Structure 1
Amino acid sequence: MISSFTPFVSSNTETLILGTMPGIASLEKQEYYAHPRNHFWKIIYTLFNNMPISEDFNEKIKFLELNRIGLWDVLQNCERKGSLDIHIKKQTENDFDTLFQKYPSINKIIFNGKESHKYFLKKFGQKEGITYYVMPSTSPANTMSFENKLKIWSSCFL
């Protein structure tokens, strides 16, 4: 059984980016999107014109907070062989009802990949007052080019 991290959310968070469950590299480092070929941090830093990307995870989280962005995963824990979402079994979802009560400023959810959206909708449905965006996964398993991912992700931040 593997478990996700605690949410990185603050009182000023307006946009919540949700993955499904951290991959092996992220779980080993205890950092979101730690795989060196994952495009997440490059996309976010490029969209906010803040290159180069910090190597320090705490600085990355501060950068997100400054831009009113939070991070979490849809699943609290699950069984999974490898890092691919298609291998998830026996999952338990995180407590989003409590999260949304505690952080009412969240008005946008960006799903990092279709699977996170699927698991969220199945358990929680559409939340009133929150806009959903389903983006291509930033995972290296998604072979879409960085440029195409960036173009699609930019639609969430216009």
Structure 2
Amino acid sequence: MLIHSFPPLEVPDARALVLGSMPGAASLAAGRYYAHPHNRFWPIMGELVGAGPALDFPQRVAALAAAGIALWDVLAQCEREGSLDSAIRDDTAVPNDIAGFLARHPRVGTVLFNGAKAEQSFRRFIAPGLARPDLTLVRLPSTSPANASQGAAMKLEAWRQALRAAGVRLREG
């Protein structure tokens, strides 16, 4: 089935861009990023920047923006059955204009990949034509419930360290 990603959550003064691969079925059905109830993205963002799942979606987006975090997916469209990244048919993948995004947001110094597929797709489709050698690229543990081999505490700490290094505004405490 051909699926399409969402528009980016652009932040004028973003320091970090978080890239997923392609929204899963629950997110596509809900029309918003990381909508699966067992995905750890919003609980992690709640802990780190106050963008937790108790807030409605526009409030979460506002909290990400206040912290300096933009959000998008590497792929604009692809064919995939189900929600697993491993089911993405690479021969059907069409990337988003990440290079254009980064040109519009020159303060973004760090790209954080939410999992291996996002990083692999970026390196395949985006990196070869990207004129930003200054970017720091960091693969983080996927927040997907399919990534059950890494615990919540480990994921939280990896995301905390990466966001701190990227210069985003973390919550006190």
Identify the TM-score tier after normalising by the shorter chain: over 0.9
Conserved? CA contact 2:51–2:61, under 8 Å: no
1:141 and 2:141 equivalent?
A: no
Alpha-carbon distance between aligned partners in 2 of 1:40 and 1:97, rounded to the nearest angstrom = 24
Unaligned runs of 5+ residues in structure 1 are none
4+ aligned runs moved over 4 Å, structure 1: none
1:90-127, Cα deviation, whole Å (9 max, x unpaired): 11000112111111111111000011000001122273
Whole-angstrom CA distance in 2 between matches of 1:8 and 1:52: 16
> Structure 2 CA distance, aligned partners of 1:31 and 1:52?
14
Aligned mate of 1:97, from 96, 99, 102: 99
Equivalent position amino acid for 2:23 in 1 = P
User: How far apart, CA to CA, are the structure 2 residues paired with 1:68 and 1:130?
Assistant: 16
Tell me the residue number matched to 1:24: 25
| Structure 1 Cα separation of the partners of residues 139 and 108 of structure 2 | 16
For 1:68 and 1:4, the matched residues in 2 are separated by 22
Structure 2 gaps of 5+ residues are 165-173
CA gap of 1:108–1:51, structure 2 versus 1, over 3 A, is closer
Q: Secondary structure at the match of 2:113?
A: strand
| Aligned counterparts of 1:116 and 1:123: Cα–Cα separation in 2 | 11
Report the TM-score, using the length of structure 1 for normalisation.
0.94
Q: Deviations over 1:34-87 (max 9, x none)?
A: 000000011111123x38643311111000000010000000000000000111
Work out the number of aligned pairs and report it: 157
Could you say which residue in structure 1 is the equivalent of 2:7? 6
Q: Tell me the distance in 1 between the aligned counterparts of 2:86 and 2:51.
A: 33
C-alpha distance in structure 1 between counterparts of 2:8 and 2:153, whole Å:
28
Question: What's the TM-score, normalizing by structure 2?
Answer: 0.86
Pairing 1:119-130 to 2, within 5 Å after superposition = 119-125=121-127, 127-130=132-135
**2:168 counterpart residue number:** none
CA distance in 2: counterparts of 1:10 and 1:157, whole angstroms: 15
Sequence identity (%): 37
Higher deviation after alignment, 33-42 or 96-105: 96-105
Q: Is the 8 A contact 2:112 2:139 kept in 1?
A: yes
Report the CA distance shift for 1:52/1:142 in structure 2 as closer, same or farther (over 3 A).
Answer: closer
Structure-2 separation of matches of 1:53 and 1:92: 30
- Matching of residue 155 in structure 1 with residue 155 in structure 2: no
2:38 alignment partner in structure 1: 37
